Structure 1
Amino acid sequence: MQVSIIIVNYNTAGLCIQCIGSVKKLITGLEYEIIVVDNASAGDSCLQITDAFPEVKLLRNQENLGFGRANNLGIEQAAGEYLFLLNSDTWLLNNAPAIFYHFMELPQNKQVGCCGGALFKPGGEGQAAYGNFPSLLEAFSYLGFYRLYKSYFRQHISPGVVNTSPADRPVDYISGADMFIRRQALTETGTFDPDFFLYFEETELSFRFKKKRWLSFIVPEAKIVHLEGASQQQTGTAFNPVKETLFMRSRKHFFVKCYGRVSATVMKILYGTSYCLSGILGRDKNWWQKLKILSKT
């Protein structure tokens, strides 16, 4: 088996079916399987998927295990030499799996552990496809200093970068929406850290890739639509304390694990200061709620 495509589903049966349909329509020239890991979706979500695609291997969890742990279960059951982790709210615009596979098989790319493609919103606008590792420089920049070096910040510090170049190139980490991973790299580094329920799991895994001298590459020839941006527009920008808490917990865990507790403490001070400044300047009406959540994480 060349490629195992793993899709985590949580109450997104319609989107998942659309995603699988795009794979079945566009993929050619590869021996592959599709594994759907369902995170205890409500209703008949699983039945809808198996009715539409009986050949798909479906793994059902009794509870929502989060992104990383669910993918780990799919990886355990996968037979592929490569693992293509694909979000349920995506669809392919071209034969991305074959593009990734042939890129990874090039002799000069044997040290590439992970790659991903260019991501787009449904309307065609570019979406963040890769990012830079979280850092104290990023936290410092959010005090307002990023305005002094906006272009540099967007490309070399920002955690989310929209691809603007057609060139294949190394990056810190690939968006979790479309990670094409060499199994050998996972064997050496391990799979997703189960302590990340949501957010930063792909970032931390990529950090381990780098420590083991595995590279992550953006391959813009592969093109994929990701609905995340559209769904945020539909639901508005209302402050969500649950998601904010998960985000801050995962960010702290990343800093503690990758940089140490001193760096994590400095990070919290910098972000706490930036929240206060945003409140004083009237830029963020939720600054006090964020500060309270930060103090508890």
Structure 2
Amino acid sequence: MQQPDLSIILVNYKTPYLIVDCLRSVEKHTSGLTYEAIVVNNDPDPSGRAIVLAEFPTTNWIEMGYNSGFSRANNRGIAESAGRLVLLLNSDTLLVDNILKRCADLLNTRPDVAAVGPMQLTRDGKVHTEAFTGFSQLRRYFFIFPTSGFFKRLLHRLLPDRHYADPDQVDWLVGSFIMTRRETVEKAGGLDENFFMYAEDVEWCWRLGKQGKLLLLRDGFYVHLEYGSSTDYQASRVTHINRFKPQMHVSNLLWVRKQYGVGAYLILILHYLTLIPVIFGWKIGINLIRFRNPFTELENQRAFAQQVGIFLRFFWKTLFNQTGFYKV
């Protein structure tokens, strides 16, 4: 059998119908290159296999046997793929044009490029402009300070953005669409399997970036519906203080520890621990000034303290960068 140009790897967790829609869009819009589709199944429900293979019978369906998360599933898909190029593609994505051929051509003609991805569109067709593309952007978001004034200037000074001569070059690409070469993966290594979900794409791009440029095609697009299979891992209420999804931030803290070391990790943990009495004291003070029960309306503060408690469950493992499965 002739080697395909591209291996498309999708992970299934309760999203077989989304995968069917995704593969339909791939089939409709892709021409000029050969590809294989690989679905790695994290879902204990076996019904998804029949749904996908009924319409796309040549799909290589791989059973993990448990919810192995994003890194382990994609690594398994990469290991069993045959293409010269590899694409990690979320199940909740749709192609709108022949972007796969364009990305493949770029990797085939630009040896200085390690990986490439297009811009995201929301489900209503708007450009997703809020996605981070720089490591410092992401790290600044982890600090819960006022978003303007002194603290904003301080964080930008301490964690400045990196600027590249190429306007398309970025620190990292969103894991919902990353295309790279097989040989690049062999040099950089696969995704870090300590990560269950989230931030593994950031850490992987850090290593991919050592092999060449990461390019975000600002005039190339795909639809990312978002949260097709991750609703189990979202925060129930989002405010400025209580804005971290527990699973996401456990993974973010692991990434900070791996990439920036013990000091950067400890600063964040100390920041969150210090904030607990501050935000409780602030709200209690506001209640007293307004002649209300001082312990009323503290739900947001309690939720934050509970989140910090979740982070601390992984404290020693993260501090010593221990091998494990960082799943909340």
Local SS of the residue matching 1:125: coil
| Pair 1:213–1:252, CA change in 2 (3 A) | same
Structure 2 equivalent of residue 183 of structure 1: 182
Moved more, 198-207 or 262-271: 262-271
1:37-77, Cα deviation, whole Å (9 max, x unpaired)? 11134141111001111011111111111001100011011
Moved more, 260-269 or 124-133: 124-133
Structure 2 equivalent of residue 19 of structure 1: 22
Moved more, 15-24 or 218-227: 218-227
Residue 125 (structure 1) shift: 2.1
Contact 2:197 2:247 survives alignment (8 Å): yes
Structure 2 equivalent of residue 8 of structure 1: 11
* Distance in structure 1 (CA, Å) of the matches to 2:228 and 2:64: 28
**1:253-268 mapped onto 2 (5 Å cutoff):** 253-268=254-269
* Distance in structure 2 (CA, Å) of the matches to 1:123 and 1:229: 15
Local SS of the residue matching 2:205: helix
TM-score, length-scaled by structure 2: 0.75
Local SS of the residue matching 2:14: coil
Residue 116 (structure 1) shift: 0.8
Residue 105 (structure 1) shift: 2.2
* Distance in structure 2 (CA, Å) of the matches to 1:101 and 1:82: 7
Local SS of the residue matching 2:21: helix
**1:190-205 mapped onto 2 (5 Å cutoff):** 190-205=189-204
Contact 2:119 2:216 survives alignment (8 Å): yes
1:136-195, Cα deviation, whole Å (9 max, x unpaired)? 961675322555659x97xx979xxxxxxxx96110100011111122221111000100
- Structure 2 residue identity aligned to 1:215: K
Local SS of the residue matching 2:135: coil
- Structure 1 residue identity aligned to 2:121: F
| Pair 1:288 & 2:308 matched | no
Residue 113 (structure 1) shift: 1.1
**1:232-251 mapped onto 2 (5 Å cutoff):** 238-239=236-237, 244-251=245-252
* Distance in structure 1 (CA, Å) of the matches to 2:222 and 2:121: 6
**1:259-278 mapped onto 2 (5 Å cutoff):** 259-273=260-274
* Percent identical: 27
* Distance in structure 2 (CA, Å) of the matches to 1:25 and 1:140: 40
Structure 1 equivalent of residue 48 of structure 2: 45
Structure 2 equivalent of residue 143 of structure 1: 145
Contact 1:278 1:287 survives alignment (8 Å): no
| Pair 1:203–1:290, CA change in 2 (3 A) | same
**1:11-160 mapped onto 2 (5 Å cutoff):** 11-106=14-109, 109-127=110-128, 128-133=130-135, 138=140, 141-146=143-148, 149=152
Local SS of the residue matching 2:20: helix
Local SS of the residue matching 1:181: strand
Local SS of the residue matching 2:11: strand
- Normalized per residue, the structure richer in strand is 1
Residue 215 (structure 1) shift: 1.7
| Pair 1:129–1:19, CA change in 2 (3 A) | farther
- Structure 2 residue identity aligned to 1:169: D
1:6-41, Cα deviation, whole Å (9 max, x unpaired)? 111111111010000000011000011111111134
Contact 2:107 2:113 survives alignment (8 Å): yes
| Pair 1:213–1:274, CA change in 2 (3 A) | farther
Work out the number of aligned pairs and report it. 281
* Distance in structure 1 (CA, Å) of the matches to 2:267 and 2:230: 31
Moved more, 219-228 or 48-57: 219-228
Local SS of the residue matching 2:61: strand
- Structure 2 residue identity aligned to 1:26: H
- Aligned CA-pair RMSD: 3.2
Structure 2 equivalent of residue 227 of structure 1: 225
Structure 1 equivalent of residue 294 of structure 2: none
1:207-250, Cα deviation, whole Å (9 max, x unpaired)? 1123x2422110133311111169999x9962499x94422321
Contact 1:39 1:62 survives alignment (8 Å): yes
| Pair 1:227–1:135, CA change in 2 (3 A) | closer
* Distance in structure 1 (CA, Å) of the matches to 2:133 and 2:279: 24
| Pair 1:54–1:275, CA change in 2 (3 A) | farther
* Distance in structure 2 (CA, Å) of the matches to 1:217 and 1:287: 36
Local SS of the residue matching 2:36: strand
